[in-house]
Structure 1
Amino acid sequence: MTSLRDAAMNSKAWPFEEARRVLKRYEKKDPEKGYVLFETGYGPSGLPHIGTFGEVARTTMIRRAFEVISDIPTKLLCFSDDMDGMRKVPENVPQQEMLREHMQKPLTAVPDPFGEFDSFGNHNNAMLRRFLDTFGFDYEFASATDYYKSGKFDAILLRAAEKYDDIMAIMLKSLREERQQTYSCFLPISPKTGRVLYVPMKNVDPKAGTVTFDDEDGQELTLPVTGGNVKLQWKPDFGARWAALDVDFEMYGKDHAANTPIYDGICRVLGGRPPEHFTYELFLDQNGEKISKSKGNGLSIDEWLTYAATESLSYFMYLKPKTAKRMHFDVIPKAVDEYHQQLRAYPDQPVEKQVDNPVWHIHGGNPPESKMVVPFAMLLNLASVAGAKDKDGLWGFIKRYAPEASPETHPDLDQAAGFAVRYFHDFVAPKRAFRLPNDQERAAIEDLAARLRALPDQDLHLTFEDPSEGLQTLVFAVGKDHGFENLRDWFTALYEVLLGASQGPRFGGFIALYGVQETVALIGHALAGEFVSQG
């Protein structure tokens, strides 16, 4: 019998592939710091978006995979670059005018427009931590402001002063000639205005550990590079952080990929060993545009959780991280149902298949049992035809379909029913477009109603071993008998005429859930044109 570790060492699941790369770093000796450090970076220039969560979720999946194949302890550090100067005001926050008065100040020196924390940076950090905590992530949080001001970065900053010319040589190759004239890897914080200054250095003294520059008013100033008086430009900061903390793994979006040689080069110049990298494709909004913290486009963390459980979001994050994905509300139902399909398959799989199953990685090797006896897509359609205002309106149908189910014994189904009603009213109902059938479709739908009406008025299990499959076979037979060469056209007609949508659930399962006689009545209303006239 294959052991878990053996299965993991041969798994083609991307978290195990990445974990094996990290393990290879220490095939000769364990890390001197005593643990393997996984890191995620966060720029708190706006409210945390769903892509930020994705980095932590995916890095955690790799960390858990590593812990299966190695006994070396691990840590996950979520690092916030909150000392970065605020370069633009996010569009989705209040007090825009007030924020504009604090442009270029470190985010932890900008007042919180929400009035809840002592700075905008700390507000956004708190939002990130709140969400990560609800998911139960095991992580340590680090603030750049704390690391710069407390002296934790002093040694690497002094080293950067010593290696200033080498760092500049790396950076200048990547800059346009005009930018080269004023560029410095050090950004002093003006003691007069508090702003982060993008000014050239007149002198860098490695022995004294100071930089000399002209302040905004033209006065020449000399400041120590330590103690939070300066910060590093973001590209040098990446490499310096890796060197200072001895980071072993960090992932980032494809938009950073071209900078990887710069990050690595600066890390090496400062005496560090670059970490293993993983670049993922970007998330896109409904228009195919990159999700932006400042624009607030795309799905937010809270918006996803308004319509689906957290595990479905983790499932979405697991899938094909190197493929760009639209992240809009319409991806939620599919993610929910696919997650539960994988969950149901897991217990009967051999360990070699289990470690390739997304739910192993979502739940760190200990996935729960799925109690979703009704698919989310089916609940959406049930909410539609039943006119449900809340989840209680669905449970009468659910209990007839699955008598053993209850909100107490099937909490995931109960939660999904509530989500389905909310999702239906917010997204499905406004877009429904019923139509009348053509002659061929009308004859077939009338025939379907007649065959359903002829079924014995008794427990469907006495008629069919599996009511869903039996009714699905019946629906198929009607379509074939009425000359639908492509049965997809037949099912599309059912969805558009009866449900007002071009796609829908397995129709046999829908009938079993909604009820045979209820479906016959639904057909009668649709053929009479009542739904079209309502539209």
Structure 2
Amino acid sequence: MTIDPAIRDAARVSKAWPYEEARKLLKRWPDGKPDGAPMVFETGYGPSGLPHIGTFNEVLRTTMVRRAYEELTGGAPTRLIAFSDDMDGLRKVPDNVPQQDMLAEHLGKPLSRIPNPFDTNDESFAHHNNAMLRRFLDDYGFDYDFVAASDCYNSGRFDEALKNVLKHNQDILDIMLPTLREERRATYSPILPVSPTTGRVLQVPVEVLDADTGMIAFADEDGTRVEQSALGGQAKCQWKVDWAMRWVALGVDYEMYGKDLTDSGVQSGRIAKVLGGRKPEGLIYEMFLDEKGEKISKSKGNGLSIEEWLTYGSQESLAFYIYREPKKAKNLHLGLVPRAVDEYWQFRGNYSDQEADKKLGNPVHHIHAGKVPDKALPLTFGLLLNLVSLPGVQDKEIAWKFVQRYAPDSAPETDPELDELIGLAVNYARDFVVPGLKRRAPVAHEVDALKDLDAELAKVDEDMAAEDIQTIVFEVGKRHPFESLRDWFKALYETLLGSEQGPRMGSFIALYGVENSRKLIADALDMAG
């Protein structure tokens, strides 16, 4: 990897959060990892529910730190592990999945050993959800190694790590028991055996018979004493122990997690030390909230799926929203999409003219790993929404005809990003804008102002520049007794577009066409009688 020296120098002092995080790794390994081993980044995923943006958030933000570290080090080797804890037992049936009764029959079993409730060929519930996550990560172009807990446990990859846990069973109990309620202490064990009769992951006390061979003893669900190996997928670690064991077994150097796991991170860090390793570096980020201000939950299904955002907004707009202020709780809902799209393009447009230090603080630098495209948009997403919300324009092909008149050099073949945005605008307008539009009739001096504007537009050529049209709109507003020009534009939005807010009218008229805009004015005046 070739790093621009100016970028590398600026990265050393940049206050952008990915660089602040990456510098933690320089302190962790001042001389680099031994034998040139890659710096290992990890993200964790619990496949009990469908993937949502909170899941994607961790992979994206971690990737940003990974790239920042590579810039700081001039391209030192790195690796990102996307880990799925699909050996976890299903605790409750998610509200937003099919075949609820079937899933209820398998409560307590490892997620990777529960039948797939979806109409796909995936072999289990976890395999289906894992596939959904991987498909999106692949589509987005992430560089990662997917690792499933079921593969690690079943194949024996974790066997030595499990023996290490058994050897330190009492040390781990000494850490965990003081943090638990009295009733929980009675059943707590660092190792959770899988019942040989029911296949469920058991929360029962475990006796370590022989740590070197992995033999344990426990009471099965019917009370029968069972002696069996903890290896080869016949047991898994309790959550906080599993996290620590994984860090040590996989050599994880960096993992970020949500504020709700702060205490878990502390305990897992102590356990990792007992196991002979050390806690990874990482950022504790604030949680995403839904429209009601409640924490997003996979099992509740109150968050956004990745597919939902991408029905209405670009991948880059999602990345832009996720990048900003990771330590601040933020609402996450579809009403945020238009602004995120336009702000992404605004920051992207500023990037090429910025000095190196400003570039590193620009979100698009991290979204595109320093390779920011130069292509600009001829119009905003907000303006597109206004266009495709009008009767007769709620179609991508028709919308393109208006766009090409406004920006003659554009075309679907040469401007794929614009083509995508037009399609997304059509979707968003159809589902969220058009249903709420209600044009009102102009009143009093608004009628005179609209007649005046129509007369001025009658003198205008169809190819007049948007800025010149904007000047005309301004001058008309000044000639009439509005308390402020803001009231004039508000009247235009409400009578012509059916909304309290809207675009720069000069740009809108240039895009929609002078004659078409005059027809909107005529319709409004007809409503006034």
2:63 aligned residue = 60
Shift of residue 44 of structure 1? 0.4
- Between the aligned partners of 2:54 and 2:157, the Cα distance in structure 1 is 28
One-letter code aligned to 1:211: I
Q: Give CA deviations for 1:462-513 in whole Å, capped at 9, x if unaligned.
A: xxxxx22333333333334434444433322222222112222222211111
Q: Matched residue of 2:282: which SS?
A: strand
Partner residue, 2:231: 226
In structure 2, give the amino acid aligned to 1:295: K
- In 2 relative to 1, CA 380–157 (structure 1 residues): closer, same or farther, beyond 3 Å? same
Partner of 2:495: 497
- Residues 105-146 of structure 1 show CA distances to partners (whole Å, capped at 9, x for unaligned) of 001110001252111111111111111110111100001011
How far does residue 516 in structure 1 lie from its aligned partner after superposition? 2.2
1:463 paired residue number = none
**Structure 1 match to 2:146:** 141
Equivalent of 1:11 in 5, 11, 14: 14
Asked if the contact 1:161/1:204 (under 8 Å) is kept, the reply is no
| C-alpha contact 1:82 1:143 (8 A) present in aligned 2 | yes
Query: What is the aligned counterpart of 1:326 among 324, 328, 331?
Result: 331
Change (3 A) 1:209 1:435: same
Displacement after TM superposition at 1:202 (Å): 4.5
1:365 aligns with 2:370: yes
Give the match for residue 108 of structure 2: 104
Larger deviation, residues 205-214 vs 317-326: 205-214
Q: Given the alignment of the two structures, is residue 214 of structure 1 paired with residue 219 of structure 2, yes or no?
A: yes
Alignment match, 1:422? 427
8 Å Cα contact 2:462/2:510 also seen in 1: no
Residue 4 of structure 1, CA deviation: 1.4
Aligned twin of 1:49: 52
Where does structure 1 lack aligned partners over 5 or more consecutive residues? 461-466
Which residue of the partner structure matches residue 306 of structure 1? 311
Match of 2:177 among 172, 185, 195: 172
CA shift for structure 1 position 158: 1.2
Shift of 1:249: 0.6
Q: Does 2:402 correspond to 1:397?
A: yes
Equivalence for 2:163: 158
Residue identity matched to 1:468 = A
8 Å contact 1:22–1:248 — kept in the other structure?
Answer: yes
Partners in 1 of 2:348 and 2:144 — Cα distance? 26
The answer to whether the Cα contact below 8 Å between 2:163 and 2:213 also exists between their aligned partners in 1 is no
Residue 449 (str. 1) matches residue 454 (str. 2):
yes
Distance 1:458 1:217, change over 3 A: closer
Counterpart of 1:423 in 2: which secondary structure? helix
Q: CA RMSD in A?
A: 2.0
TM-superposed CA distance for 1:52, in Å, is 0.8
Whether the 8 Å contact between 1:2 and 1:351 is mirrored in structure 2 is: no
Are the aligned partners of 2:86 and 2:149 in contact in 1 as well (CA < 8 Å)?
yes
Residues 1:389 and 1:220: Cα distance change in structure 2 (over 3 Å): same
Whether the aligned pair in 2 keeps the contact of 1:55 and 1:252 (CA below 8 Å) is yes
Decide whether aligned partners of structure 1 residues 112 and 458 sit closer, same or farther in structure 2, where only a CA change above 3 A counts: closer
Q: 1:386 to 1:346 in 2, by over 3 A?
A: farther
Classify the secondary structure of the residue corresponding to 2:37: coil
1:364-406 deviation per Cα after TM superposition (whole angstroms, max 9, x unaligned): 1111233421211111111122522421111221122111112
- The letter of the residue matching 2:80 is L
> Take 2:306 and 2:378, find their aligned partners in 1: how far apart are those partners?
27
* Structure 2 gap ranges (5+): none
- The 1-side partners of 2:27 and 2:80 are apart by 19
Whether the aligned pair in 1 keeps the contact of 2:462 and 2:514 (CA below 8 Å) is: no
Could you list the structure 1 runs, at least 4 aligned residues long, displaced by more than 4 angstroms after superposition: 202-205
Q: What is the alpha-carbon distance in structure 2 between the residues aligned to residue 458 and residue 210 of structure 1?
A: 83
Structure 2 counterpart of 1:20, one-letter code: R
The match for 2:506 is 508
The reply to whether residue 88 of structure 1 matches residue 92 of structure 2 is: yes
Q: Report the secondary structure of 2:226's partner residue.
A: strand
Contact preservation (8 Å) 1:371, 1:410: no
Q: Is the 8 A contact 1:386 1:393 kept in 2?
A: no
Q: How many residues are paired up?
A: 524
Judge conservation of contact 1:371–1:413 (CA < 8 Å) in 2: no
1:439 corresponds to: 444
**Structure 2 SS opposite 1:277:** coil
> Which aligned pairs between 1:168-317 and structure 2 lie closer than 5 A?
168-203=173-208, 205-317=210-322
Counterpart contact for 1:203–1:213, Cα < 8 Å: no
CA contact (8 A) 2:460 2:514 kept: no
TM-score (norm 1): 0.93
Measure the CA separation in 2 of the matches of 1:39 and 1:418. 35
CA contact (8 A) 1:186 1:230 kept: yes
Instruction: Give, in whole Å, the separation in 1 of the partners of 2:315 and 2:32.
Output: 38
Describe the SS at the equivalent of 1:528: helix
Identity of aligned residues (%): 55
Superposed displacement of residue 205, structure 1: 4.3
**Helix, strand or coil at the partner of 1:213:** strand
Inter-CA distance 401–160: structure 2 relative to 1 (3 Å threshold): same
2:23 alignment counterpart? 20
Aligned partner letter, 1:491: F
Provide, for residues 187-244 of structure 1, a one-character-per-residue CA deviation record: whole Å limited to 9, x for no partner: 1100111000011224564355332211001001122222221111111111111111
- Give SS of 1:249's match: coil
Q: Deviations over 1:33-58 (max 9, x none)?
A: 71100000000001111111111111
